[in-house]
Amino acid sequence: MIDDERPLPSWTDGATRDAILEFVESVSMGPHAIPVADRVAVFDNDGTLWTEKPMPTELHYVVEKWAAAAKADPALADEQPYRAAVTGDLSWLAAAVDKHYAGDDSDVQVVLRALVGLTIGMSVEDYAAAVSAFYRDAHHPTLHRPYSEVVYQPMVELLRHLERHGFTCYIVSGGDRDFMRPMTSQVYGIPPERVVGTAVGLTYDAETAQVRYAASLSFLDDGAEKPIRIWSRIGRRPILAGGNSNGDMPMLDFARRGPRGFALLVHHDDDTGRGDAPYDNGAEEAIAAASDRGYTVVSVKRDWSRVFVEPVASA
């Protein structure tokens, strides 16, 4: 099963890579191996598996939809978040996300209402088709490449390394679950049933036998909600968790404080111009607590010899 190549090739030699390799070996080989079924790993998405700067990908999608809505109904253009969408001044949106990470959800609530407004009554299958079309065409606003190419190569290598050692990997993200699902199979090799995320309420339309989006958010999958949703969906305590922000701490702790748990915290500290913006905002608490809580900190600058995946030749 295990080939001869150097595992985790885009990870530089050092304590971080060693710690990961040693943990994976300790739980998958020898007399103290953990049963395969219990080798569950969970990963945050935005900022952990792919870049979340200058803003989470979903904001790009909804900004396009909001701009179209304001074009159809010009009265909307004076209100946030439609104003941001129409003017192209997205600083209000970026600030809303920063405020969320700092504990103030007021602007995020405005965003979420407008977000939920985009899909009221839409069938889940129609939404999946709309999102798939977006991923086919959209490009990252500052890196100018498809979103499938702003994925962190070292993290994809980690997913594959874990799978080769019997792990099952899940995404557990604050992002909208159904916005992630259409791309996670292709980009991460993680199928829809292993994507956990923020959920819009659903209704069942018996007339058409369709599941449709309702008018309110069901839950925001961040902070303390993450271990709750992990249990709901998986029914097991993960033995490995990876995240990058304060909102990942409960999930990291839930894994780390199991009998044999491991937690990774990606720290965006790369100021060498390889395309990953350095930032600590929204992660200050997690970084400060890493040593006490036993998180293994991944320095993008120090631990990754390569940041993004290779561009895929277009089909």
Question: C-alpha angle 84/87/92, rounded to 5°?
Answer: 25
Q: Is 41 in the site for its own copies (CB under 8 A)?
A: no
Residues in a beta bridge with 266? 298
Residue tagged 């004076």 (tokens): 78
DSSP string, 200-251: EEEEEETTTTEEEEEEEEEE--STTHHHHHHHHHH-S--SEEEE-SGGGHHH
Q: At closest approach, how far in Å is the CB of 110 from its own copies? A: 25
For 20: left if phi > 0, alpha if psi spans -120 to 50, otherwise beta; the answer is alpha
Q: Is 177 in the site for its own copies (CB under 8 A)?
A: yes
DSSP string, 234-298: H-S--SEEEE-SGGGHHHHHHHHTTTT-EEEEEE----SSSS-----TTTHHHHHHHHHHTEEEE
Considering only 87, 132, 186, 203, the residue that binds its own copies (CB under 8 A) is: 203
> With respect to its own copies, which residue has the nearer C-beta, 49 or 307?
49
Q: At closest approach, how far in Å is the CB of 160 from its own copies? A: 18
> With respect to its own copies, which residue has the nearer C-beta, 213 or 308?
213
> With respect to its own copies, which residue has the nearer C-beta, 199 or 277?
199
How far apart, in whole angstroms, are the C-alpha atoms of residue 268 and residue 290? Answer: 14
Considering only 21, 228, 277, 287, the residue that binds its own copies (CB under 8 A) is: 228
Residue type, 295: Y
The interface mask with its own copies, positions 257-296, x = CB under 8 A, is: xx--------------------------------------
Q: Is 129 in the site for its own copies (CB under 8 A)?
A: no
> With respect to its own copies, which residue has the nearer C-beta, 64 or 125?
125
Q: Is 206 in the site for its own copies (CB under 8 A)?
A: yes
Q: Rule CB under 8 A: which residues touch its own copies?
A: 37, 124-125, 168, 177-178, 181, 185, 191-193, 195, 199, 202-204, 206, 209, 211, 224-228, 230-237, 250, 253-254, 256-258
